[in-house]
Structure formats: structure tokens, C-alpha cells
Structure 1
Amino acid sequence: MSYHKYTLDRFDGDYAVFLKRPEETEQLLIQRTEILVAIQEGDIVSIQEDKGKYLIEVLQEDINAQKDRIQQLMKQLRDQSK
């Protein structure tokens, strides 16, 4: 059983739209009713498929690292505009 990392791009009707990392060009649609963990748009998750069921784990360390990278980029942009 293998897993892949995804970013939750958005909720679209009854589905959650995940983008496969790192390129984020491949989509995975999962019905909201199959998602048993609390997630929000932008979260990075690990998804395993097992016998037609999806096992989703929120990767909080990856989310925090992504937020830090964004903050650093924003700081660089602000510093360049001075």
C-alpha cells in the first residue's frame, strides 16, 4: 500500500479537490463524506487508498514548513520594495 502527498485545493460541491505534490498538476477527487479528518483548503495531507477507502492524514509539519516559506518570501518582497 503506497501513499502520496496532496494539497487540498478546494471543496467543490460534494467533493474535495486534491492536487498531487510537488507539481500539483494531477487531481484527486474524494467525496466529502469519505473524509474522516478535519481539513481545510491549503492543508497538506498524505492519502493512501486501501480497498476503495481513502486514509487521509494531515501533515502538520509540512503545513508549518510551507507557511514559514511563504512568510520568508513575503518578507523578502517587502524588503525589496523599500
Structure 2
Amino acid sequence: MSSDGKYTVDQFEGDYAVLLFRSDESIVVNVKKGELPPTVKEGDILHVAFNSQSGVTSAVILEDETKSARKTAEDFLKKLRNK
């Protein structure tokens, strides 16, 4: 059974999205793309709630957290390039 919480969209494989649990990225959940918001992209951070059969009951893109995480990653890449 999948845990409710924050997930990062790692990638898409066919009709499925691969989600990584934010607090422990070794926890991977595959969900049908149709269960997620239609505008979801790789790298988005979502709050996902599951039912007892591990089906998605709600999935909301956390816009501010996604923007912050992308900026942090971009800043890190800039630092690496400038070394």
C-alpha cells in the first residue's frame, strides 16, 4: 500500500508515471498518468493521496515547491559549470 504524501515525478514510462517519495526516494510508486493532473511534467512535486488499493484519490501539483526545487537544481548546475 502506498503512503499519502509528497512525491516527485521522476519520469514517464508508457501510460505510467514513476513517482519518488520525497522523504525517502528509495520508495518508488508507479501510477497511471490518467490519475494525475493533465498538466503534470517530469520534476513536478505533487501531494498524492491513495486509497486502500493504492489507487490515487487526489493528486495536486505543489507549484511553489516545484519552482523552488527547480531553482535549487539550476543554481547547483551553474555552480558546477563555473568551477
Shorter chain as denominator, the TM-score bin is 0.7 to 0.9
Measured after TM superposition, the shift of residue 35 of structure 1 is: 2.2
Other-structure match for 2:67: 64
Structure 1 stretches (4+) deviating beyond 3 angstroms? 50-53
Q: Which residue of 2 aligns with 1:76?
A: 79
2:14 is the alignment partner of 1:13: yes
- Aligned-pair identity (%): 30
Counterpart CA distance in 2 for 1:69 and 1:8 is 17
Deviates more, 1:27-36 or 1:59-68: 27-36
TM-score, length-scaled by structure 2: 0.77
- CA offset at residue 74 of structure 1? 2.3
Q: Distance in 2 between matches of 1:37 and 1:56?
A: 11
Alignment length (residue pairs) = 79
Aligned partner of 1:58: which letter?
Answer: I
Distance in 2 (alpha carbons) for counterparts of 1:78 and 1:16: 30
Alignment partners' CA distance in 2, 1:55 and 1:9: 18
Give the TM-score taking structure 1 as reference length.
Answer: 0.78
Task: Work out whether residues 48 and 56 of structure 2, in 8 Å CA contact, stay in contact via their aligned partners in 1.
Answer: no
Match of 2:31 in 1: 30
**How far does residue 44 in structure 1 lie from its aligned partner after superposition?**
0.8
1:14 to partner: Cα distance: 1.6
Structure number, greater radius of gyration? 1
5+ residue gaps, structure 2, are none
